[in-house]
C-alpha cells in the first residue's frame, strides 16, 4: 500500500505563492490528481471572496437602515494556480465559498484564519504607506550606504551596489522579518509621490523569471534568483513598476551572496 504524504499548510501556501521548490511543487501537483481532501485544503487556502461580497451586497439592498459605519473587506492575494490545481479549484472552490457564506450570514461561526505567504504580508504593510510616510526621510548618500550595508549583513547578500532606478528616490532600508527569516524592505518615492518598496527574503534554490501581478490593490513585480526572492511593489500603474523591476532584476542576476 502506497503511503499518502501529508503536506503542511506552510508547504501548500508556498505552492500557492510560487515559492515551492521543484520537488515540492511536483509532489503537490501529483497528489492533486487523486487526493480530493488535499484539493479541498488548497481551495480553502486560496478561497475567493467575490461571491461572498456579492451575496452580502444583495442582503444589504433589502436590509433596514443601520447606523453608518465603515467596513473594509480586503482583496485576497491572487495566487496563480498551475497545472492540475486549476482543476481542483473548479471542483471544490464553489462549494467551499457557499459554505463559508452560510456560516458568515447565519452567525454559526467565523472561518479560521489561514496561513499567508510573505508577499501577502508585505502587500498589507505597503498598503498603509502614503507619500507623507516617506516624505520626511531624506538620507544623504553616506547615510544610505550605511543603511544598505546594515541590511546586507542581516540578509547575507551584498546590497551596497543597488542600482538607481529612474524616477525612484531612496528613502530608507530596514530589516523586517517573516517566519524567523530576515525580510529586507528598501523604500522609495516616485517623482509623483507614489511609495514603492523593494523587498528581499531568503528563498529556495529556484531561479524564476520576472512576473507581474497585484496584491491588496497594488501592482507587484516578483522574481527569484537562486537563494533569494525579490518583490517590487507600489502604486496602481504597472508600466513604471515593470521598468523599475527590470532595473533591479538585471542587477540581482549579477550579485553574489
pLDDT at res. 238: 93
pTM for this entry: 0.59
Q: State the cell numbers at 117.
A: 505567504
Is residue 90 predicted with pLDDT exceeding 90? no
Q: State the cell numbers at 72.
A: 473594509
Q: State the cell numbers at 57.
A: 451586497
Residue 213 contacts residue 120 (beta carbons within 8 Å): no
Note the pLDDT tens digit of each residue in 176-202.
999 899 999 999 999 999 999 999 999
CB atoms within 10 A of CB 132: 9
Domains of the chain, by residue range, sit at 9-106, 118-252
Is residue 208 predicted with pLDDT exceeding 80? yes
| Pairing of the two strands 181-190 and 218-225 | unpaired
Separation of alpha carbons 139 and 175, rounded Å: 17
Helix (H, G, I), strand (E, B) or coil at 206: coil
- Please tell us whether the domain made up of 118-252 is placed in CATH 3.30.200.100: yes
Amino acid at each position: 500500500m502506497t503511503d499518502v504524504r501529508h503536506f503542511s499548510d506552510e508547504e501548500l501556501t508556498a505552492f500557492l505563492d510560487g515559492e515551492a521548490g521543484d520537488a515540492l511543487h511536483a509532489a503537490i501537483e501529483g497528489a492533486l490528481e487523486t487526493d480530493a481532501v488535499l484539493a479541498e485544503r488548497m481551495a480553502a487556502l486560496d478561497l475567493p471572496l467575490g461571491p461572498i461580497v456579492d451575496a452580502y451586497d444583495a442582503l444589504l439592498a433589502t436590509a433596514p437602515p443601520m447606523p453608518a459605519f465603515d467596513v473594509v473587506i480586503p482583496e485576497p492575494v491572487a495566487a496563480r494556480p498551475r497545472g492540475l490545481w486549476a482543476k481542483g479549484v473548479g471542483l471544490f472552490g464553489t462549494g467551499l465559498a457557499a459554505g463559508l457564506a452560510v456560516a458568515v450570514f447565519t452567525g454559526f461561526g467565523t472561518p479560521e484564519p489561514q496561513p499567508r505567504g510573505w508577499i501577502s504580508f508585505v502587500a498589507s504593510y505597503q498598503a498603509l504607506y502614503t507619500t507623507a510616510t516617506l516624505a520626511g526621510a531624506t538620507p544623504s548618500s553616506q547615510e544610505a550606504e550605511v543603511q544598505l550595508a546594515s541590511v546586507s549583513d542581516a540578509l547575507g547578500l551584498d546590497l551596497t551596489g543597488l542600482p538607481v532606478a529612474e524616477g525612484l528616490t531612496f528613502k530608507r532600508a530596514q530589516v523586517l522579518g517573516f517566519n524567523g527569516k530576515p525580510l529586507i524592505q528598501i523604500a522609495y518615492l516616485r517623482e509623483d509621490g507614489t511609495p514603492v518598496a523593494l523587498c528581499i527574503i531568503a528563498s529556495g534554490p529556484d531561479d524564476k523569471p520576472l512576473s507581474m501581478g497585484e496584491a491588496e490593490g497594488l501592482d507587484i513585480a516578483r522574481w527569484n534568483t537562486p537563494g533569494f526572492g525579490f518583490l517590487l511593489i507600489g502604486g496602481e500603474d504597472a508600466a513604471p513598476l515593470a521598468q523599475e523591476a527590470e532595473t533591479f532584476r538585471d542587477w540581482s542576476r549579477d550579485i553574489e551572496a
